[in-house]
Amino acid sequence: MRTFDLTPLYRSAIGFDRLAQMLNDAQRGDSQPSYPPYNIELVSEDQYRIVMALAGFSRSEIDITSERDTLLVVGRKQRDGVERTYLHRGIAARDFEQRFQLANHVKVTGASFDNGMLTIELVREVPEALKPRKIAIDGVEATNVATIEQRQAA
């Protein structure tokens, strides 16, 4: 396996140390749990959707919390106390905690649970003060330069 030294990213990326840390974590391997399965969809330029497959869970067994730049989805399966014997158990019904790192200015706008699928809607709302803006350049226009050159020739 090939290793990469990401130390130069830390030196030159002011304010992006979290990005460098995420790259470093990704290099170490898959530490993120794969249960429950989920998709992250790009709906439009500033809208996202997380869809999680939560077969066997009810709405009351799922908790969604958004705090700062982290979205936390927790599932706590209620035990009914009935002892079961399985010949094959392919549907996982274990407790889980799934964390999602949200980018700056990404907010959760809603969530729904239908047929075992949890859908979480996200939107990126960049404040007007932080949006890119065009800067006018003061100075001589190209048409003025041509006029001055014509006067000097006369």
CATH number for region 35-132: 2.60.40.790
Residues in the chain: 154
Q: Which amino acid is at 149?
A: E
pLDDT 10s digit of each residue in the chain, 154 long?
A: 566 665 555 544 444 555 555 566 655 555 556 788 999 999 988 899 999 999 889 999 999 999 888 899 999 988 877 888 889 988 877 899 999 888 888 899 999 999 999 999 999 887 877 778 888 888 766 555 555 555 555 5
DSSP annotation of 68 reads T
Domain boundaries, the chain: 1-31, 35-132
- Strand spans (E) along the chain: 38-44, 47-53, 62-67, 70-75, 96-101, 106-114, 117-124
